[in-house]
Amino acid sequence: MRVAVIGAGASGLFVSGLLAKQGHDVVVFEKNDKVGKKLFITGKGRCNFTNVCPVEEFLKNVVRGQKFLKGALYNFDSNMCLDFFASLGLKYKVERGNRAFPESDKSSDVIRVLKDVHCKNVEFVFDSEVSSVYRANENFVVVSNGKKNDFDRVIVATGGKSYQSTGSTGFGYKVAKEFGHNIVECVPALCPIKLKDKFVKDLQGVSLKNVSLKAECDGKKLEEFGEMLFTDAGISGPIVLTMSSLINRGKDVKLCIDFKPALSEKQLDLRLLRDFEENKNKDLKTILKGLLPKAVADIFPRAVMLDETKKIHDITKAEREKIVSGLKNFALKYDGLYDLNSAIVTSGGVDITQINPKTFESKIANGLYFLGEVLDVDALTGGFSLQIAWATAYSCAKNFV
Ligand SMILES: Cc1cc2nc3c(=O)[nH]c(=O)nc-3n(C[C@H](O)[C@H](O)[C@H](O)COP(=O)(O)OP(=O)(O)OC[C@H]3O[C@@H](n4cnc5c(N)ncnc54)[C@H](O)[C@@H]3O)c2cc1C
């Protein structure tokens, strides 16, 4: 069969090699002058290509499309992924949090084995942006650089709509729409969060460890524990990225930081009482510096409306309670997420109710397939997004007719 694959990213490369091995005639159209431009920047250039955990555990990290992806993730789980890359000659290592990386720490090694070993019988057409796909009788016509090409099957592996300089500009949604698919609104996921608070500028670059970021999103309570940092206009870092994926469709979002998640309010109050007792003649700021990073201690009294110059012996019980409550629930003024282009992945995309989860073929256009991030699926950080790209490609190829 003559198969067109649009996009030489993770899912496009993976499915192309598998189909070529089955004897299909595969042509990959890639608008860039090389394969895997997004893959190259994954995992800060190290490519966290899968997460080695049982499928049930994996599914807890899938934000949208859990049920839809279950079969594909069982068909091609992370152990199969490790075996697959090993068979291509890639040496790998598994780090904290079950994250798998190439042993060399170079994403280029993942790209190289995919392109040169796995796809050695695949035809690539570079600098060739597909502008439209339509049906002519039983076949498809793929138009690229003004040239029409006939195919029996078309696989859309064009990615999402974030980090557009890598080539993923949302073209797949256009194809899907033209064939009658619904597109679920695309919003940023794994993305920094914007804040309206004036103090943000004073905190840019400050990182916080062992804190909890708490959210109330349309009445639902969420909490993430770990590291975060302040940016020019808000917050980022691991727990912020995770939180962004959980609140990105929220209408009413309230955020706060718990600077001392290991202590209850009562324990914290006792700690303050002890500190106060030992530092009666010092000012509030001095005490706060023992509890918070300096830059945060500097803005903290104003943010919770306390006089920073006040001496400890003048602080009332009500003021002490205010400090405790500020340390446990430091309110942030949510101002939405950064834009899609700053998002590691796109949430939303081709409506999965119109896609067969075994084959990834369209239920409304026979012979047309959608793989990877173009679908309305998304997951948290840790190698889950790439595993979804591999697994959707694997199921598609395995059940290809
Ligand atoms: C900074 C960053 C870091 C990341 N790190 C990780 C990580 O460590 N682990 C992880 O699991 N995930 C990571 N991700 C997410 C992961 O990279 C993506 O989810 C994954 O690449 C999606 O694969 P895909 O095949 O769907 O699309 P992509 O890999 O985005 O590939 C799509 C391809 O289609 C091409 N294309 C688009 N339109 C056309 C057209 N009209 N004609 C021809 N070609 C076209 C594009 O040029 C591109 O090459 C990261 C993402 C970013 C942005």
Distance 335 CA to ligand 1 centre (A): 27
Cβ of 129 less than 6 Å from ligand 1: yes
The residue count of the chain comes to 401
Question: Which long-range contacts (C-beta less than 8 Å, at least 24 apart) are formed by 315-324?
Answer: 315/276, 315/284, 320/269, 320/272, 320/273, 320/276, 321/269, 323/272, 323/284, 323/288, 324/265, 324/268, 324/269, 324/272
What pLDDT, on a 0 to 100 scale, did the predictor assign at position 224?
A: 98
Rounded to whole angstroms, the Cα distance separating 226 from 223 reads: 10
Rounded to whole angstroms, the Cα distance separating 74 from 269 reads: 49
CA-nearest residue for atom 27, ligand 1, is 159
Number of the ligand 1 atom closest to the C-alpha atom of 35: 49
Considering the chain, what is the average pLDDT of its residues? 97
Q: Which of 95, 105, 162, 168 to mutate to test the pocket of ligand 1 (most atoms within 8 A of CB)?
A: 168
Relative to beta strand 368-370, strand 153-156 is parallel
Residue 330 has pLDDT above 90, yes or no: yes
What pLDDT, on a 0 to 100 scale, did the predictor assign at position 346?
A: 98
pLDDT in tens, 218-243: 999 999 999 999 999 999 999 999 99
Stretch 16-27: mean pLDDT: 98
Number of the ligand 1 atom closest to the C-alpha atom of 159: 27
Rounded to whole angstroms, the Cα distance separating 371 from 16 reads: 12
Among 286, 294, 300, 112, smallest CA distance to 207 is for 294
CA-nearest residue for atom 50, ligand 1, is 42
SS3 370: strand
User: pLDDT band for position 33 (50/70/90)?
Assistant: very high
Share of the chain above pLDDT 70, in %: 100
Residue 286 has pLDDT above 90, yes or no: no
Is residue 47 within 8 A of residue 110, CB to CB? The reply is yes
Among 369, 396, 339, 381, smallest CA distance to 158 is for 369
Rounded to whole angstroms, the Cα distance separating 138 from 327 reads: 65
* Helical packing angle, 384-398 and 66-75, nearest 10°: 70
What pLDDT, on a 0 to 100 scale, did the predictor assign at position 41?
A: 98
Stretch 293-299: mean pLDDT: 95
Rounded to whole angstroms, the Cα distance separating 142 from 149 reads: 5
CA-nearest residue for atom 29, ligand 1, is 9
Cβ of 29 less than 6 Å from ligand 1: yes
Every domain range in the chain assigned CATH 3.50.50.60: 2-187+346-398
pLDDT in tens, 94-112: 999 999 999 999 999 999 9
Number of the ligand 1 atom closest to the C-alpha atom of 385: 11
Residue 114 DSSP one-character state: I
What pLDDT, on a 0 to 100 scale, did the predictor assign at position 149?
A: 96
What pLDDT, on a 0 to 100 scale, did the predictor assign at position 329?
A: 97
Which pTM was predicted? Answer: 0.96
Edge-to-edge strand ranges of the sheet holding 92-95: 50-51, 99-102, 92-95
User: pLDDT band for position 310 (50/70/90)?
Assistant: confident
Number of the ligand 1 atom closest to the C-alpha atom of 44: 3
What pLDDT, on a 0 to 100 scale, did the predictor assign at position 137?
A: 87
pLDDT in tens, 258-274: 999 999 999 999 999 99
Rounded to whole angstroms, the Cα distance separating 92 from 323 reads: 48
Stretch 148-172: mean pLDDT: 97
What pLDDT, on a 0 to 100 scale, did the predictor assign at position 110?
A: 98
User: pLDDT band for position 281 (50/70/90)?
Assistant: confident
Q: Which of 385, 387, 394 to mutate to test the pocket of ligand 1 (most atoms within 8 A of CB)?
A: 385
Is residue 65 within 8 A of residue 41, CB to CB? The reply is no
Q: Among 6-15, 314-323, 368-377, 389-398, which is the least confidently predicted range?
A: 314-323
Cβ of 336 less than 6 Å from ligand 1: no
Stretch 267-293: mean pLDDT: 91
Cβ of 16 less than 6 Å from ligand 1: no
Considering the four listed CATH numbers 1.25.40.10, 3.40.50.720, 3.50.50.60, 1.20.1560.10, the one that applies to the domain covering 2-187+346-398 is: 3.50.50.60
Stretch 209-219: mean pLDDT: 98
Q: Which of 11, 37, 344, 384 to mutate to test the pocket of ligand 1 (most atoms within 8 A of CB)?
A: 344
Distance 388 CA to ligand 1 centre (A): 11
CA-nearest residue for atom 24, ligand 1, is 159
Residue 309 has pLDDT above 90, yes or no: no
What pLDDT, on a 0 to 100 scale, did the predictor assign at position 382?
A: 98
What pLDDT, on a 0 to 100 scale, did the predictor assign at position 146?
A: 93
Distance 40 CA to ligand 1 centre (A): 9
Cβ of 382 less than 6 Å from ligand 1: no
Burial of 139 (0-12, 13-18, 19+ CB in 10 A): middle
Number of the ligand 1 atom closest to the C-alpha atom of 29: 43
Distance 346 CA to ligand 1 centre (A): 10
Distance 261 CA to ligand 1 centre (A): 36
Cβ of 158 less than 6 Å from ligand 1: yes
Cβ of 32 less than 6 Å from ligand 1: yes
Buried b (16+ CB within 10 A) or exposed e, 37-52: bbbbebbeebbbbbbb
Q: Among 139-143, 165-169, 276-280, 316-320, which is the least confidently predicted range?
A: 276-280
Stretch 128-154: mean pLDDT: 96
Residue 280 has pLDDT above 90, yes or no: no
